């Protein structure tokens, strides 16, 4: 596994990125960061390193607002445009391309796939099904238009995805698989459990899913 720094160009300029190349093969998973993070969010980087070491390459990148060191995310259309440009570049080098990311990043990835961007699968690290405390605002309608396999890696204590509502969503998506991290929060943090151990669980669940595709 090797890591390569990168820059990606889109309509709004350029953003930083990083490729995690597997030892063999050319399958890649794009990992966009969450609303409050960057491409260097520790769990995201560790997850990328570990999946690449097992044979699934990864690509991390900054959304434009994170590149500019702003705290508030850009409007949805701008986030989508940035993700789409990155995915277009990665697709040129990938044999199989998977779209995903943490929280907001994964959701934006699902938007571009729902709009027609081709993907071999989607991986969500804590999909934000609804805002905390607002379970009536479910964000799943566009997911119902996606035919590619989807993997949801979700903490059982995630305030962005009430378990019963997430179960309902998964049941309505024929291609979806759910792996629940027991006692995990929105960042997959589990009380009394080392962060590295949780990432190992996420990686294991990812490869269990991949082997069934």
Q: Which residue has the tokens 């479910």?
A: 138
Architecture of domain 2-210: 3-Layer(aba) Sandwich (3.40)
pLDDT digits (tens, 9 = 90+) for 31-88: 999 999 999 999 999 999 999 999 999 999 999 999 999 999 999 999 999 999 999 9
Q: What is residue 141's DSSP assignment?
A: T
Q: Which residue has the tokens 């669980």?
A: 201
pLDDT at 54: 96
Q: What average pLDDT does range 118-142 have in this prediction? A: 97
Residue 12 has pLDDT above 90, yes or no: no
Q: What average pLDDT does range 172-184 have in this prediction? A: 98
pLDDT at 39: 98
Where residue 162 falls among pLDDT bands split at 50, 70, 90? very high
Q: What is the mean pLDDT of the chain?
A: 97
Alpha-carbon torsion angle 28, 179, 146, 10, nearest 10: -40
Q: What average pLDDT does range 97-126 have in this prediction? A: 98
Where residue 175 falls among pLDDT bands split at 50, 70, 90? very high
Q: What average pLDDT does range 12-24 have in this prediction? A: 95
Q: What average pLDDT does range 157-176 have in this prediction? A: 97
Q: Which two tokens stand for residue 121?
A: 């699968």
pLDDT at 96: 98
pLDDT digits (tens, 9 = 90+) for 84-105: 999 999 999 999 999 999 999 9
Q: What is the DSSP string of 63-118?
A: -HHHHTT-SSPPPHHHHHHHHHHHHHHHHTT-SEEEEEEETHHHHHHHHHHHTT--
Residue 143 has pLDDT above 90, yes or no: yes
């Amino acid at each position: 596994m090797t890591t390569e720094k990168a820059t990606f160009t889109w309509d709004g300029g350029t953003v930083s990125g990083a490729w995690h190349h597997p030892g063999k093969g050319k399958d890649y998973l794009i990992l966009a960061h969450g609303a409050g993070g960057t491409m260097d969010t520790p769990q995201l980087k560790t997850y990328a390193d570990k999946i690449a070491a097992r044979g699934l390459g990864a690509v991390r990148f900054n959304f434009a607002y994170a590149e500019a060191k702003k705290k508030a995310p850009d409007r949805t259309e701008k986030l989508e445009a940035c993700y789409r440009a990155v995915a277009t570049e990665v697709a040129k080098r990938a044999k199989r391309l998977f779209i995903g990311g943490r929280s907001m990043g994964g959701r934006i990835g699902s938007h571009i796939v729902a709009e027609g961007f081709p993907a071999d699968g989607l991986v969500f690290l804590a999909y934000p099904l609804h805002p905390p405390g607002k379970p009536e605002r479910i964000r799943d309608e566009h997911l119902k238009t996606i035919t590619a396999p989807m993997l949801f890696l979700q903490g059982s204590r995630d305030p962005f995805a009430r378990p019963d509502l997430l179960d309902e969503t998964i049941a309505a998506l024929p291609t979806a698989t759910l792996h629940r991290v027991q006692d995990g929060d929105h960042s997959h943090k589990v009380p009394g459990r080392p962060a590295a151990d949780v990432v190992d669980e996420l990686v294991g669940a990812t490869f269990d899913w991949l082997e069934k595709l």
